[in-house]
Amino acid sequence: MKMKTTVLTAAIAAALGLQTGLPGHVLAEGSGSSTGGAAGSKTTASANSHAEAVYKAALPLLSSSARLPEAIKYLNSNIYAVTPYQATVLTLKLENLHKAALKAWESKFMNSIVQRKLTSVYKAGISMAKLADSIDDTSLRSLLKSAGESGYKLETAEGSFFPVIDYAAYRKYRVYVTADIRNYFSIMGTETDLPSSKDNGLIISWGDVAARALAQEEFIQSYPKSNRISAVKALYSTYVTNTFYGQNNTPLFHYDNLEMDLEAQKAYSGLLAKNNGSSPFLQKLDGFMKLLKDNGYKLDDSVTEYLKSEVPQS
């Protein structure tokens, strides 16, 4: 089984052109469900043949960003028919395509005319498709519809509007892929549903910041060879910084009196009371909070030195 895992891991990495590593083994669809004998072999062979046909038909659709709408429709309708290994390859290829095409979509939305039009019609939380249906402007409606069908959603920050990958849409694939990618889509879906920050400030609670960091750390510990380990590590680094420092417009320590934000103090204390174990993140947070408790929750030289040592900023 170990050899099978290694072969599948290498195959996925080769197919995607990414770092190796998808933990765990993958069983072909139909395995374990046959009744035995010649009939069982035929059933398994037929299932495998169908899965391979579906898989091969999907690959050309994932070769060009121009075919994103077609690829998404095909995967949504047929991903159930392939094996977990094949589903993982296809969904990660879809994400690769989304990332590669994002800059081109950003350029289309950054047009000053588009920005001005969006200012008057934008509604927070509404999908691209619904927003397109609600407006009369033909060119803007076409842009929004096309972006939505290609798998993007509309976001806004600092007065600008821009597309981002709609990771919430990837949740429909979770039951078909390997465990690490299932968890990866959950993490990224959370980021899509509610980004952690806008305009250089946190827009989620301090408790949520720390909880997301903890979930990302758990992924890193559970799936060290995952194909998406680098992406989660980068996200985790951001959340660690936000936990221990905050952001410019929501600093952990108030600029005027250097006191720790009261809500953060309560949230971190509550998190530590509920969790224990071998989490390096929680161990650093625990040491941080003990030090702060001793000095009245104020930023002083001892706290600054602790941060420099345990949570240095890059």
The CA distance from 182 to 228, in Å, is 11
The CA distance from 191 to 202, in Å, is 13
Decide: 180 and 220 in contact? Cβ < 8 Å. no
The CA distance from 201 to 9, in Å, is 39
Decide: 94 and 75 in contact? Cβ < 8 Å. yes
Beta bridge partners of 259: 298
Give me 241's structure tokens.
């910084």
pLDDT digits (tens, 9 = 90+) for 223-278: 999 999 999 999 999 999 999 999 999 999 999 999 999 999 999 999 999 987 77
The CA distance from 191 to 212, in Å, is 9
pLDDT digits (tens, 9 = 90+) for 54-77: 999 999 999 999 999 999 999 999
What percent of the chain shows pLDDT beyond 90?
79
- The number of residues making up the chain comes to 314
pLDDT digits (tens, 9 = 90+) for 136-163: 999 999 999 999 999 999 999 888 999 9
Q: Can you point out the beta strands (E) in the chain?
A: 152-157, 160-165, 197-198, 201-202, 246-247, 250-251
Number of H helices, E strands in the chain: 13, 6
Report residue 160: phi and psi, to 5°.
-115, 155
Residue type, 303: V
* DSSP 8-state assignment for residue 194: S
Which whole number is the average pLDDT over 23-36? 35
Q: How many CB atoms lie within 10 A of CB 79?
A: 21
SS3 assignment for 269-286 = HHHHHHCCCCCHHHHHHH
Decide: 62 and 93 in contact? Cβ < 8 Å. yes
Give me 31's structure tokens.
């395995």
- pTM for the model stands at 0.84
